[in-house]
A and B are shown apart, each in its own frame.
With several copies, the nearest count.
Chain A
Amino acid sequence: MNRPGVATACAAMLRRDLTLAWRRRGDIAMPVLYALIVTMLFPFALGPEDTLLQRIAGGVVLVTVLLAMLLALDAMFSSDIEDGSLEQLVLAPQPLALMLGMKILAHWLTTALPLIVIAPLLAAMLHLPGAVIPVLLLALLLATPLLSLLGAVLVALTAGTRRSGMLLALMLLPLCMPAVIFAAGAVAAAQQGLPWLAPIAWLAAALVLAVVLAPLACAAALRIALDA
């Protein structure tokens, strides 16, 4: 009998989620397309005035990317709960928090990363100055994992309930507002040529904290959710 090491188990978990995402790659593309649509609709809805678009570009891209991420958040554990996979995961002789950390990582890789990749395109569609784009990307690189981690905890908490949607949105709003404010602050500062390091540093600090604590919280929350 050969028990797998933690590394093997982590790899198995990550591979599983990535394979599943690949099988349903249409759903990966969904947030991306969604973000593209939103960005394309703005010139229609507001009229194609360059200065106006440029003025709002940074904010629109940030809000769009973060909201596109929320789209995919809700489904993070639901299919695993329905088909009984989560039970099997809980029963496995592996640290649950770590396994959930892998799930969150897979989620970030499959939803946030594609969004970050197309963010420059979105920014260009709204004529954001090229010099600001690196700052935008940096802000997104820090804000999106933060959102994934916090989101996972909340999704786990609401997993046992039937009215998850509203609760999720209600609880996420206050949690993601600071992330948006700091990220948008950094982008706006960069656009005006001011120093943008401080808000980025805040984001980074929050991210470090979340990486350590969120998987643990997530595991505890899921055990509660299953116990009914």
Chain B
Amino acid sequence: MSSWIPLWLHKLGSPPTFYRFAGTLRPWAMGLALLLGAIALYGGLVLAPADYQQGDAYRIIFIHVPSAWMSMFIYAVMGVASFIALVWRIKLAEVVAMESAPIGAAFTFITLVTGSLWGKPMWGTWWTWDARLTSELVLLFLYLGVIGLYHAFEDRRQGARAAAFLAIIGIINVPIVHFSVNWWNTLHQGSTVNIFGKSKMSWDMLWPLLTMMLATKFYYVASLFNRVRTDLLALEGGKDWVRKIAEDEAKS
């Protein structure tokens, strides 16, 4: 482990410390996610006006787009964690990468289904082999491949390394998902939200969308911590701190 990694990070990377740290932080992240989610839903479903073209169907946007962003964001996180895991062999990075995958797969799945639920009234079809749709489907397959590869190995750390490798190979798909609308002219919408410049969307619709985006980010943190804690228990089964937890839990 290189010396330039600050000491606190190094400490945090130690499984028992992180286990405790994540345990205290998780409820806060979950609480924020629920609060922001509730506000965003109220704003999106009640306050925001209907779209002049799409009517009320556009309200799927408040879950479709944040989920779509999360599907790519989580993949990026997974890719970075995978890289760290492979280069420095830090156990926590392996776990973060591997436990991000199911959450990412969940959001990808939501994106695909909400997208096709939206597509039926708007395009008249559930599914076409459009570039963005296809690349998002490929993203789902990549997530499933990472999850499957991780669990296919008997040695979990070996599985984590192999799956991390796949995650890194697959990262080229993320820019393809994002830019596919620019590169090929297709059915799917181009960019309408622009965080830094001027968005093409009215503020009434935009703020619930951005709030929901924040809510999903917090949700991700909460869910990730929850999963990482469980996985650390499975991975560190030989260590005393885990044995203690196991015995304590057996007693209670």
| A–B in direct contact per CB < 8 Å | yes
Interface residues of A (CB under 8 A from B): 26, 43-44, 48, 153-154, 157-158, 160-164, 166-167, 170-171, 173-174, 177, 217, 220-221, 224-225, 227-228
Q: Are B161 and A224 in contact (CB under 8 A)?
A: yes
Q: Are A160 and B129 in contact (CB under 8 A)?
A: no
Instruction: Please measure, in the bound complex, the distance between the C-alpha atom of A177 and the C-alpha atom of B137, giving whole angstroms.
Output: 11
B145 within 8 A of A: yes
Identify 16 residue pairs between A and B in the complex whose beta-carbon atoms are under 8 Å apart, listed by A's number: A44-B129, A48-B128, A48-B129, A153-B169, A154-B166, A157-B166, A160-B158, A160-B162, A163-B148, A170-B145, A171-B145, A174-B138, A174-B141, A174-B145, A217-B165, A227-B161
Interface residues of B (CB under 8 A from A): 128-129, 134, 137-138, 141-142, 144-145, 148-149, 152-155, 158-159, 161-162, 165-166, 169-170, 173
Partner of B154, one of A44, A154, A220, A228: A228
Q: Are B149 and A158 in contact (CB under 8 A)?
A: yes
Chain A residues with CB under 8 A of B144? 170
Which residue of chain B is the closest to A213 with respect to CB atoms? B169
Chain A CB within 10 A, most for which of B129, B170, B173: B129
Q: Are A217 and B169 in contact (CB under 8 A)?
A: yes
Which residue of chain B is the closest to A161 with respect to CB atoms? B152
B93 CB → nearest A CB, Å = 15
Chain A residues with CB under 8 A of B153? 160-161, 228
Q: Are B162 and A221 in contact (CB under 8 A)?
A: yes
Q: Given contacts A161-B153, A170-B148, list 17 more A-B pairs with CB under 8 A.
A: A26-B152, A43-B129, A48-B128, A153-B169, A154-B166, A158-B162, A163-B148, A166-B148, A170-B141, A174-B141, A174-B145, A177-B134, A217-B169, A220-B165, A221-B162, A221-B165, A225-B158
Which residue of chain A is the closest to B173 with respect to CB atoms? A174
Q: Are B129 and A224 in contact (CB under 8 A)?
A: no
Q: Are B138 and A167 in contact (CB under 8 A)?
A: no
Instruction: Please measure, in the bound complex, the distance between the C-alpha atom of A187 and the C-alpha atom of B138, giving whole angstroms.
Output: 24
Q: Are B152 and A228 in contact (CB under 8 A)?
A: no
Chain B residues with CB under 8 A of A161? 149, 152-153, 159, 162
Instruction: Please measure, in the bound complex, the distance between the C-alpha atom of A171 and the C-alpha atom of B173, giving whole angstroms.
Output: 13
The 10 A-B residue pairs with the shortest CB-CB distance, nearest first, are A161-B152, A174-B138, A171-B145, A174-B141, A163-B152, A224-B161, A228-B155, A167-B148, A224-B162, A157-B162
